Structure 1
């Protein structure tokens, strides 16, 4: 038996909490590290009562099964029982666990490259908080030797079945009759359940680019290859929409009938409108059209990351909001209490979900008898774009942000005087600069990988994308020089 201090293990292994969950390189996520995290979760949050069941799931990364086995071994060591739900979307595991009042562990690296992976932890009430992360980090555990025999736990299919019924029971069985919808399947763990749900609702489903090799799809930074793929697929197959997700199925990627991918924050805005939310909780990086639309009684802005959005949703509900929605710039939608579809109350699911916003946009278009591309026509004309510099050291990101924040003339080295003076600096998460011409540039180190993310907002899409591209190019050039 080995005594492991989690804080020390985090420093030595490099596997640490990021924006959502513990993440690290696959070669850092040894059996011992993964099992120690699992024990720290169970013991640190006092979840080890006799006979306690723990829901366990995974994505389709090649490294995920071994991590599942290590987590299952630690669950057994703690005197608990692992309920293995197989490969399924993160929100499916969370929905199942919350319905049975079970803690849950999801093995996934979400959208980050295949050489990395991660573990997300859930209390019976939902995602763990940042305070829970601190409690886990401060734990010390005693770990037996982990022997991996290569056999997976017995599969329980109930979670995926229940998740599918959540949506096939919510919408009319013929809602998508007559529509041709492409599913960009790649290696998304949601690809098969998306097919089942869309087909059950009457759609003709076209499979696109399915692969057994893991593909890291970042819904906030769609590659040029995928932009062109969307346009080509829409034309070739005469599609009404294309639906995809990131690796673990909690962030949607939705294209209209032209094959143009929709921005996640606009998807979230439209989804919250359809579900009749009175309060929206969303990170500071999302489009200011949310406030400018006047569709919601209250908009609360948070730091980036679902734990912060969830904390804001809980705050709103405690303050008396009757219907609360949360969403992020990546499109992940969090359903709070009181949301409804027509006369049906939607069961709360306060964790990122990709299937709900996709179905809602399709339902809106069908209800209004319009194309998907027209749904945002009546929204304020504010457009956002985002991308990232990969393999960009966190220390370099922080030094850049500190310089821009503290030196009023430093921004001119990147943007000259073309944007005008800085009117507002927002340091809620990273550095968000609002310029005199009304344009916004937001820089932030990623919480999951050595990347610098850039978000921009402008009066048209081309300008927003240009702001992102030129900002990142100049930053990269400045750092190299």
Structure 2
């Protein structure tokens, strides 16, 4: 038996926790590393009284080539820890989360989300939903025991593993979740393109849209993984959407990132919409009273006047969930959250037309295009016309890849003493918010927000202005200035 210190394992393996679980290069995510992380998760839940021996633990994955291998390592750890691994297959993260929450069991999703497939990751869920930062700290501080003879010197499994149970129920229940909530046949006059690429949500999106009556056109299928990032849409995807919309005369195009928890939605012209803007429409359509959203999101949410309260948090779903839980403790109802990437969370169940959409306090990519389409139908407007009903504040975002977190933190610390080129480019500073990274509001009311990514060696940049063209110009200026930091 070998005792493994998780904190030390994080350091020498290079597989660390970010805002959405553990992530690292595939070559570093050996079977042994993934096994140890899973043991730490289960031991933590058991010690805190959230699970007991013999319980089932659901597992799912995305379409990365490395996901099936890692899922087996996770399954082996579950079995060795005294639990029953259930293989839910290749389904969206919110699908396996909903399946587990309904049954009061934990679950694990193997995914690297939107990052390239030379990397992967593991997301951990308690029976109540996502692990929060306290849970992460509890896992990282643990020592776990690994039985001898399970792995070779390279950390690969030496034993055969067979799943205790395999099920398609997570997929089926997730599709039913939306078909049973939204009005029967509500999309019968809509032509909707589903950009499939390599998203594990592609079949769910097609089945849900068709189940509600839409004519669905499948587009852009890929059997190779494509790293679609809903906050930094690739130029080729921008052009594809415009050409598809014109060719097929679509009402909108819907898609999602790799693990299906971040939506990508266009209007009828094939223009991809910002996640932090369609989040406002979604929250309003669902009748939300209290909205929680990160500090980086579009300020139109406050300016709209749609909601009783809006709370801002650090970037990352665990921080959004913590504040949503505070509102639940106060007895509030109709609480939702969303992020700039478009991922939408429902902290409390939503009731409409005597139907209930049960709470799902994790990012979801399916509810957003449905709510957006329904809002446009109710308003008798196209999606582009509907978007014009919001206060017109425009955001843009980008990133510098291969920018180590340590370098990002060093450079941002320097901004505390000297705004340098930012002041020269955008004028006098009005205030600075350091809730997460460095968010600078200038006297002009323009905003520049810089922060290290929590999931990859990237420096992210968000800007906000009073026109789309100005936001794009600001982003280009910022990215050009940041390149000099490398």
TM-score (norm 2): 0.96
Unaligned runs of 5+ in 2: 151-156
SS in 1 for 2:183: coil
**8 Å CA contact retained: 2:51, 2:105:** no
Over residues 37-71 of structure 1, what are the superposed CA-to-partner deviations in whole Å (9 max), with x where a residue is unaligned?
00000012215523211011111110000000000
SS in 2 for 1:379: coil
TM superposition shift of 1:172: 2.1
Over residues 142-185 of structure 1, what are the superposed CA-to-partner deviations in whole Å (9 max), with x where a residue is unaligned?
11214254766652001110111000101123111121110110
SS in 1 for 2:95: helix
Unaligned runs of 5+ in 1: none
Structure 2 residue aligned with 1:143: 146
Structure 2 residue aligned with 1:163: 174
**8 Å CA contact retained: 1:421, 1:436:** yes
SS in 1 for 2:88: strand
TM superposition shift of 1:224: 1.5
**8 Å CA contact retained: 1:274, 1:341:** no
Residue 25 (structure 2) pairs with residue 19 (structure 1): no
Structure 2 residue aligned with 1:53: 56
**8 Å CA contact retained: 1:281, 1:313:** yes
Structure 1 residue aligned with 2:154: none
Q: 2:68 aligns with which of 65, 69, 84?
A: 65
Greater shift in the superposed pair: 388-397 or 239-248 = 388-397
> What is the RMSD computed on CA atoms of the aligned residues?
1.3
Over residues 334-360 of structure 1, what are the superposed CA-to-partner deviations in whole Å (9 max), with x where a residue is unaligned?
012143334423210000000011111
For 1:327-406, list aligned pairs within 5 A: 327-405=338-416
Over residues 271-300 of structure 1, what are the superposed CA-to-partner deviations in whole Å (9 max), with x where a residue is unaligned?
010111110000000001111111111101
For 1:403-418, list aligned pairs within 5 A: 403-405=414-416, 407=417, 410-416=418-424, 418=425
Q: 2:468 aligns with which of 457, 461, 475?
A: 461
Residue 113 (structure 2) pairs with residue 110 (structure 1): yes
Residue 263 (structure 2) pairs with residue 252 (structure 1): yes
Greater shift in the superposed pair: 369-378 or 128-137 = 369-378
For 1:207-286, list aligned pairs within 5 A: 207-286=218-297
Q: 1:421 aligns with which of 415, 425, 428?
A: 428
SS in 1 for 2:387: coil
Greater shift in the superposed pair: 336-345 or 59-68 = 336-345
Residue 64 (structure 2) pairs with residue 94 (structure 1): no
Over residues 242-280 of structure 1, what are the superposed CA-to-partner deviations in whole Å (9 max), with x where a residue is unaligned?
000000000000001000000000111110101111100
TM superposition shift of 1:316: 1.2
Distance 2:235 2:170 in 1: 35
Structure 1 residue aligned with 2:456: 449
Change (3 A) 1:422 1:142: same
Residue 485 (structure 2) pairs with residue 479 (structure 1): yes
TM superposition shift of 1:411: 2.1
**8 Å CA contact retained: 1:66, 1:150:** no
**8 Å CA contact retained: 1:121, 1:127:** yes
Q: 1:195 aligns with which of 203, 206, 221?
A: 206
TM superposition shift of 1:125: 0.4
Distance 2:124 2:302 in 1: 32
Greater shift in the superposed pair: 450-459 or 45-54 = 45-54
Distance 1:153 1:250 in 2: 27
SS in 1 for 2:374: helix
Q: 1:123 aligns with which of 126, 129, 152?
A: 126
Structure 1 residue aligned with 2:438: 431
Over residues 432-456 of structure 1, what are the superposed CA-to-partner deviations in whole Å (9 max), with x where a residue is unaligned?
0000111000000000111000000
SS in 1 for 2:363: strand
For 1:278-297, list aligned pairs within 5 A: 278-297=289-308
TM superposition shift of 1:14: 0.7
Distance 1:149 1:472 in 2: 49
TM-score (norm 1): 0.97
